[in-house]
Structure 1
Amino acid sequence: MQAEMSFLIDSNVVIAAEPFNGQLEELQPVVSSFMRLAAEHGHRVYVHPATLDDLQETTDPKHRAQNIAAYGKYAALGELPLPQQVLDVFPTPRSSNDERDARILAALDAGAVHFLVTNDQKLRRRAIRLGHEPAVLRPTEAAQQLAAWHPDAPPPPPSVEEIKTYELDAAQPIFDSLRADYNPGFDGWIGKVKKESSIRRAWVVRADDGRYEALAIVKMRDNHPTKPSEVAIKLSTFKVDDLSAGRRLGELLLKAVLRWAHEEPGRPSEIFVEVNASKDRLHDFLADFGFTEVATKHGNPDEQVWLKVLDPPPGAALDGLEHHVAYGPPALRAGQPIFVIPIIPKWYEDLFPDAEVLGPSGAVPLAWTDPDPKAHGNAIRKAYLCHSPTKNIPSGSTLLFYRSQGGVKGDGAIVAVGVAEQSLRSGDPIETIGLSFKRTVYSEADVADLHKDGKEVLTILFRHDRFVVPSWTVDVLKANKVLRGHPQSVTRVSNPEGVAWVESQLNVWR
C-alpha cells in the first residue's frame, strides 16, 4: 500500500523553501527535507489562495515577485465557504490576517487535506481548538514524521543521563544562547550552578559525539513564585538543541525530571519555570503537560512564570485524563476503566525504549527485536495500533501494557502503564494515519501490513504514565483476579477485586 497523504503549507513555509538574495530562512533546512521526502514518496503538497493574498503584501517588490513565483510551483486548493465552527475560533471583528487564516482552516476542517504544516502559533492554536490537533504539524514535525514513515536507518533514541552539576561542560554549544541571555553574568551563573551540586540536579541527552542535545537543571528548593512563605522546585534550565528539534527530546527530558520528582522524598509539591514571553513553542509544550502561567517575574514583565502542581490537593475532581495531565506523569485517577493491552516484544521495544525492565527474563532485549528503536519512543504522548475487536477505549482509561512472551516461556508480564486520550477503530488506512501520524513509531509498511486484506485497526492515543517495577506476571494477575489467563486481545478488567488490586498497586488518587 502506498498511502498518499496531502499537506497544506502556509506562507511561512513557502517563503522558507525559497532563498532570497542568497539568504536562507531559519526553517529552510527542515522545509527542504520535508519537501524532498514528500516528493520522493508521492505525497501531495498544496497551497491555498489565502496564502497568495498574504504573499502579495510582501513589502519589497523583488521579494514579493519571488514569493508569488514560489507560490505558483504548487497546486492550489479551491475556496470553501467559512462554516460557523471555524469563525467561532476567531475574534470579532476579524482582521485581514484572521480572514486568511479562517479560509485555510476551512479547508482543513472540510477534509480537503490530511495535514496542515505551519509554524504560525495562532493558526496552530485555532486549528487545535477546532479539534484538529493530530492534523497540525510544525515543519520540523512534518520532516521528522515523513522520515519515520519512510525509514532508511532510523537512529536509536537517546537516553537521559543524570549528572552532577559540577560535571556540566559549559563549553557545550547548547549553552551559547544562555551565555548571550546572561551576558555578562553567564560565567558567574554557571559557576554557582556547579558549586551547588548538593541542592541541584542536572540531566543531559548526549549525541554520539558527546554534544549535549538536551539539558535540564533543577534547583530542589527555591522561593515559591506566588506564595512568599513557601518553597517550590525550580526548573532553572530546560533546553533542547535546535539541531535536535522534532525528536521529542523535550518529552524525554521532562519524563526524567518528573520521575525524579515523584521519587524524591520530602520534595516541594510544586515545580515552576520562568519562560520568556516570546517562546510560544515552549508555552505550548508546558501547557500540554500541565503547567499553567501564574505570574510574571518581579521586575521583568517579559519573563512568565509557569507552574505545575505535583500533588493533587484535597478534593481534586478532574477526570482521568485531566488528572494525569495536571499532576503527572505519573498520576492516575481511581474509578477509570482499566484495559490490558497485549503488545509483542518488537512494538514494546519501539514504544518504550527507556524501559527499566522488559519482563521476568530481565532487561536485555530479545535477539530478534529491532536494535534501532524509533525516536517517538522518546515521547510521553504515544500511539499504539493493533487488531483488537474492541471498538472504543474511553478517554482517561488506565492502560496496562502486557508484553507478550515472544517465545520466552513465562516472560509475559504487565510492564508499562498509560492513560488513554483517544481511540479509533477503522478499516481505512488513511483514517489510521490521520490520527496516529504525529505520534507513530509505525512506518508506512507497518500500517500497510496491519490493514492487509481489509483488516480493521484499533488506534489508541495515550500518554505514558510509568513503568511497573517489578512487572506483574500472569500468575500474579490471575491470583489477584485481574486476568483469567494470557490476554490474546485488548481486555477490560471487570472483576471488582481485580480492579481494586490494580488501583492499590498503582496508588491511584481517590
Structure 2
Amino acid sequence: MQTEMSFLIDSNVVIAAEPFNGQLEELQPVVSTFLRIAGEHGHKVYVHPATLDDFKETADRVHREQNLAAYAKYPALHEVTVPQHVLEVFPTPRSPNDDRDSRILAALDIGAVHFLVTNDSKLRQRAARLGHESRVLRPDDAAAQLATWHPGAPPPPPSVEAVKTYELDARQPIFESLRDTYADFDGWIAKVKTESASRRAWVVRAADGRYEALAIVKMRDTHPVTVGKDAIKLSTFKVADFAAGRRLGELLLKAVLRWAAEEPGRPSELFVESTHERLLDFLPEFGFTMVGAKDATHLDEQAWVKVLDPPAGADLDGLAHHIAYGPPAIRAGQPIFVIPIIPKWYEDLFPDAEVFGPSGAIPLPGTDPEPRAHGNAIRKAYLCRSQTKSIPEGSTLLFYRSQGGRTGDGGVVAAGVAEMSHKSTDPIETIELSFKRTVYSEEDVADLHQDGTGVLTILFRHDRFIVPPWPREVLVAHKVVTTWPQSITRVRDQEGIAWVEHQLNAWP
C-alpha cells in the first residue's frame, strides 16, 4: 500500500524553509527534513491563499518578495467557505490574522488535506477544539513521524539516565540558553552541584555524549501559591533543539513522575516556572494548572502546579483522574481490558521497559526488531485487528506480552488508560487518527489493513510498567482471565476486577 498523504503548511513553516539574508530560522533543520522525506515518498505539501495574504503584508520589501517567491514553490489549495462552527473557535471581533487562520482551519476541517503543519500554538489549540488534535503537527513532529512512517534503519531508543547533580557537565551545549536565563549561571550551577543531596537530575544522551534532554528537580521548595507549604520544584526541564520532535519531553516527565511516585515523604505537589512557549503548551496535557505569575517582578513567568496525590473526595472520571494525578494514577470502577501484544509491538511501544517478561528476560541483540524512539511517549497508539469494536474512554488497559517463543514469559507487563478508540476498514482513517503518535510504519498499517480487515486504533496514555509482571497463572488464579488471552478481553469477574484495582492502588 503506497499511501499518499497531504500536508498543509502555514506561514511560519514556509518561512523556516527559506534562509533570509543568510540567516537560518530555528526550525529550518526539521522543516527541511520534513519536506525532504515528503518529497522522497510522494506526499503532497500545500500552502493556502491565506498565507499569500499574510506574506503580502510583510513590511520589508525585499523580505516580502522572498516570501512571495517561496510561496510560489508550492501548490495552493482552493478557498472554501468558512463554516460557522469554525468561526466559533475564534474571538469576536476577529483580527485579520484570525480571519486568515479561520480559512486555514476550514480547509483542514473539510478534509482538503490530511494534516496541518504549524508552529502556531493558538492555531493548534483551535484545531483541537474542532476535534482535529490528531491531525495538527508541529514541524518537528511532522519530520519525526514521517521518518517513522518511512523507516530506514530505526535509531535505537533513547534512555533516561539518573545522575547526581555534581556529575552534570556544565559545558554541554544544552546549558547555553540557561546561561542567558540566569544572571549568575556559574553560581547557580555550582549551587546545584553542591546540593546533590536535595536535588535529583536526569539526562538523555546522544550517541556522541551530548545531552539531548535534561531535568533537574529540587526536592523541597517554597510553594508558588500557598504560604507555609512546600512543593517539589522542577527547576530545569529542557530538550535540546537538535533533539526536538522525538517525545523526549514526555520521556523525561515519565522519569520525574516515576521517581515522585516512589519517593517517601515528598511534598504532594510539583511546580514549574517558565516563559518557554513550547513548555507552556506541553504542561496542560499532563495535568499542570497555571496558578499565576511567578511574582510581582516576573509577571511574564508563569507558575504551573501539578497535584501528585488526589485530595480527599476527588471524583474525576478515569481519564481525567489519570491526567490530573498521574502517571501513575488509576481510577477504580472503570472497565478493565487485557490486551495481548506480541514482543515486536511491545518493544516498539515500550522501549523503556525495565523487563520484557515475567522471567525478567531481555532480548539478545538482533533477536527482535529495533525499537523506535517514539515509543517513549506517555501518549501512545496501539493498532490491532481485534473483534472488539471499541474501548470506552478512561478504561484501564493491561498489556499482556505474549510468550514470543520464550516459554513462560507471557504476562501483563504494562498498564495504560484509554483516551479513545476507533475501528475502521479505511487505512486513511487509521492514519489520520494514529499518525501523530504512532510507532507504525506505512508497511505495518498496510499489513494490518490487508484484505479490507477492520483495524482498531486505541489511543491511550501509558500509566506504568508492571514490575514484576503478572504471569498467566497468577491472572487465572485471581480470575482476571480464564486462560491466556488471544484477543482483547474485558475483565468481568468481580474478584478479578477487585484484585487488579488493588494491585494498581486504584483510587476509590
Q: TM-score, normalised by structure 2?
A: 0.98
Aligned equivalent of 1:3: 3
Kindly provide the CA deviation profile for residues 94-131 of structure 1, in whole angstroms up to 9, marking residues without a partner as x: 11100000000011111111000001111111111111
Question: Does the 8 A contact of 2:117 with 2:137 survive in 1?
Answer: yes
Aligned equivalent of 2:285: 288
Question: Does the 8 A contact of 1:349 with 1:369 survive in 2?
Answer: no
For the residue of structure 1 that corresponds to 2:8, the secondary structure is strand
Aligned equivalent of 2:494: 496
> What is the root-mean-square deviation of aligned Cα atoms in Å?
1.1
Q: Give runs of aligned pairs for residues 156-235 of structure 1, distance below 5 A.
A: 156-183=156-183, 185-235=184-234
Aligned equivalent of 2:28: 28
Counterpart CA distance in 1 for 2:56 and 2:285 is 35
Amino acid at match of 1:435: L
Identity %: 76
Counterpart CA distance in 1 for 2:21 and 2:169 is 38
Question: Does the 8 A contact of 1:345 with 1:369 survive in 2?
Answer: no
CA shift, 1:363, in A, is: 3.3
Aligned equivalent of 1:131: 131
CA shift, 1:366, in A, is: 5.5
Q: Give runs of aligned pairs for residues 454-465 of structure 1, distance below 5 A.
A: 454-465=452-463
Counterpart CA distance in 2 for 1:329 and 1:360 is 22
Amino acid at match of 1:431: E
For the residue of structure 1 that corresponds to 2:436, the secondary structure is coil
Counterpart CA distance in 2 for 1:491 and 1:261 is 32
Q: Give runs of aligned pairs for residues 100-499 of structure 1, distance below 5 A.
A: 100-183=100-183, 185-276=184-275, 279-298=276-295, 299-365=297-363, 369-499=367-497
Structure 2: runs of 5+ lacking an equivalent: none
For the residue of structure 1 that corresponds to 2:481, the secondary structure is coil
Counterpart CA distance in 2 for 1:325 and 1:363 is 31
Instruction: Tell me whether 35-44 or 57-66 shows the greater mean CA deviation.
Output: 57-66
Counterpart CA distance in 2 for 1:443 and 1:287 is 29
Amino acid at match of 1:290: G
Counterpart CA distance in 1 for 2:421 and 2:59 is 46
Counterpart CA distance in 2 for 1:367 and 1:139 is 33
Aligned equivalent of 1:41: 41
Counterpart CA distance in 1 for 2:61 and 2:361 is 62
CA shift, 1:378, in A, is: 1.1
For the residue of structure 2 that corresponds to 1:497, the secondary structure is helix
Amino acid at match of 1:328: G
CA shift, 1:371, in A, is: 4.8
Kindly provide the CA deviation profile for residues 149-178 of structure 1, in whole angstroms up to 9, marking residues without a partner as x: 101111111111111111111111111111
Question: Does the 8 A contact of 1:162 with 1:203 survive in 2?
Answer: yes
CA shift, 1:500, in A, is: 0.8
Q: Give runs of aligned pairs for residues 6-17 of structure 1, distance below 5 A.
A: 6-17=6-17
Aligned equivalent of 2:76: 76
CA shift, 1:360, in A, is: 2.1
Kindly provide the CA deviation profile for residues 167-220 of structure 1, in whole angstroms up to 9, marking residues without a partner as x: 11111111111112113x111111111111111111111111111111111111
Kindly provide the CA deviation profile for residues 225-268 of structure 1, in whole angstroms up to 9, marking residues without a partner as x: 11111100011111111100001111110000000000001110
Counterpart CA distance in 1 for 2:266 and 2:187 is 27
Counterpart CA distance in 2 for 1:166 and 1:23 is 37
For the residue of structure 2 that corresponds to 1:393, the secondary structure is coil
Question: Does the 8 A contact of 1:482 with 1:495 survive in 2?
Answer: yes
Question: Does the 8 A contact of 2:118 with 2:136 survive in 1?
Answer: yes
Instruction: Tell me whether 23-32 or 468-477 shows the greater mean CA deviation.
Output: 23-32
Q: TM-score, normalised by structure 1?
A: 0.98
Structure 1: runs of 5+ lacking an equivalent: none
